[in-house]
Amino acid sequence: MKKTLFFLLILFGVLRAQEINFGILVETSAYLTKSYFDNNYGSKTDIYPFSVFASLSIENEESFVRSEAGIVFAGENFSGFEFGIFYFQNILNRKIYIGSGFNAHYNWGEGHGIGGSKTIFNDLFFQIPIILNFKTTGKIDFLISTVLPLSTNYGYLNVYDENKLKYDKYNIKLNGILKIGMLIKL
């Protein structure tokens, strides 16, 4: 804990913060998955309309650091708590910033039967987001991001094959997440 606080103090000092902002971030996400569905193992995209985060940013005109903590509502497979810290750098007229950082997602998924037994790992998963942050003249920012999971296997599904008279195991994989969001600064 002391090392983390020391790191943040150094980072904030380097930024020469001019402004501290608190806010609420609301996001819509598209999860790019590979799993067993409709009697096939393949890729699909699931849209989840709502996740909410509390945000704290320390900003100057050229760059800023933002931390976020909140709840992801992404169905039974990917819902959970998230915490992230990100660094953003100005790329166009102090209106568009590009950022990246580190996201930790604690999955609270649960298993149940869908033509077999389903297991979603209740575990901590780490992700690397790449974010475009569009600043407006007011207290609203718009964000577009892609999230790359460091571990793609989130669980598995045992499906009974009547021809083989046995269960086959299919991994539930998360290949990536696309997000759009709105940050309202308080």
For tokens 């649960």, name the residue: 110
| Res 71: pLDDT | 94
Scanning 47-173, the segments in alpha helix (DSSP H) are 75-78
Distance CA 182, CA 144 (A): 9
Q: What is the dihedral of CA 23, 27, 32, 35, to 10 degrees?
A: 100
| Res 133: pLDDT | 96
Domains of the chain: 2-185 (2.40.160)
**Exposure of 111 by Cβ count < 10 A (0-12 exposed, 13-18 middle, 19+ buried)?**
middle
| Res 113: pLDDT | 42
Low-confidence spans in the chain with pLDDT less than 70: 1-17, 36-39, 109-119, 122
